[in-house]
Amino acid sequence: MRRIESHHTPKHGSWLNIAENELSSLTRQCVSGRRFGDVETLRRETAAWSTDVNARQRGVEWHMKVDDARVKLTSIYPKIKE
């Protein structure tokens, strides 16, 4: 248990989608299909990948506006009293 670090994160959120996409990209572009002899090599490779990705400053294009999401995803979004 000393190695597990717990953080409260929202169950639903756009930032979580971005994080999942980045981890998926890291896996596909840097780690998948490779074997690393030690942890330090893995750290170096992932740091190099991260530096390259961050230098390109990709953005995220959202296709759904908040008001549309509130209508379509009523079970996720709380009701707003007007």
- What are the pLDDT digits (tens) for 11-65? 666 777 788 888 999 999 999 999 999 999 999 999 999 999 989 887 777 777 7
Q: Is residue 63 part of a domain?
A: yes
Number of domains forming the structure of the chain: 1
Q: Return the pLDDT at 55.
A: 92
Q: Is residue 20 part of a domain?
A: yes
Q: Is residue 78 part of a domain?
A: no
Contacts with 19 (C-beta within 8 Å, 6 or more apart), sequence order: none
Which amino acid is it at 34? R
| Whole-number Å distance between alpha carbons of 3 and 5 | 6
User: Considering the entire predicted model, what is its pTM?
Assistant: 0.56
Q: Is residue 49 part of a domain?
A: yes
Q: Is residue 80 part of a domain?
A: no
- Tell me which residue range forms the domain holding 54: 14-72
Higher pLDDT, 79 or 46: 46
Torsion of CA 67, 14, 76, 65, to 10 degrees: 10
Q: Is residue 27 part of a domain?
A: yes
| Whole-number Å distance between alpha carbons of 29 and 42 | 13
Q: Is residue 77 part of a domain?
A: no
